[in-house]
Amino acid sequence: RFNHSGKWYDFIDLIVQPAPLQQPHPPIWIGATTPAGALRAGRLGAHLYAGATDAETFAAYREGLEQTGHDPESRRVAMSLSITVTNRDPDMEWQRIRDQAAYRWDFYRVIREEMGDPMLRVESGCKTSSEDRYRENELIGTADQVIETIAEFKEKLGLTDLVYFGAHAGTD
């Protein structure tokens, strides 16, 4: 049982049931899309689910952990990647999935704009105004290329977990 009084909600004698199986509680994950959000997640000692791929966001998270005495090695760090494994030419594969990718990424673009967050860019430099502007957010390649890229992200960003952003609807 607990009480909470905040800016938007007040709860009095709230009961949360069933009690968590994990003790003292399930792991707390906080999503962050900017360095400021990641710093806050770190200060709170939560695990990080990043909606970003820039090194600054991950460095801010580690800084937040260290500021509050949390061991970065004791925390998990995750991000999502949209992955298509293929033996075909990646540009040809992109042509096959680009409409679905544009639909998906445009959905997230609107949400991020409403939150005041920048659009996710897996790589930098794409300046086109068509559906191709989302190409850089799609990891498309052979199994070896995908594994190599994931390993680079793991090393560069300190990832412990990867959430697979699966195949696009309507594709085989």
Neighbouring CB atoms inside 10 A of 17's CB total 4
* Alpha-carbon distance values, 56 to 23, 39, 61, 124 (Å): 33, 10, 9, 14
Structure tokens at 148: 């190599």
Tens digits of per-residue pLDDT, 20-36?
888 888 899 999 989 99
CA distance 82 to 169: 13
pLDDT at site 136: 79
Percent of the chain with pLDDT over 70: 88
Structure tokens at 37: 């959000």
Is the pLDDT reported for residue 119 higher than 90? no
pLDDT at site 170: 57
* Alpha-carbon distance values, 34 to 53, 62, 120, 133, 153 (Å): 10, 13, 10, 21, 17
Tens digits of per-residue pLDDT, 69-116?
999 999 999 998 889 899 999 999 888 888 888 888 888 888 878 877
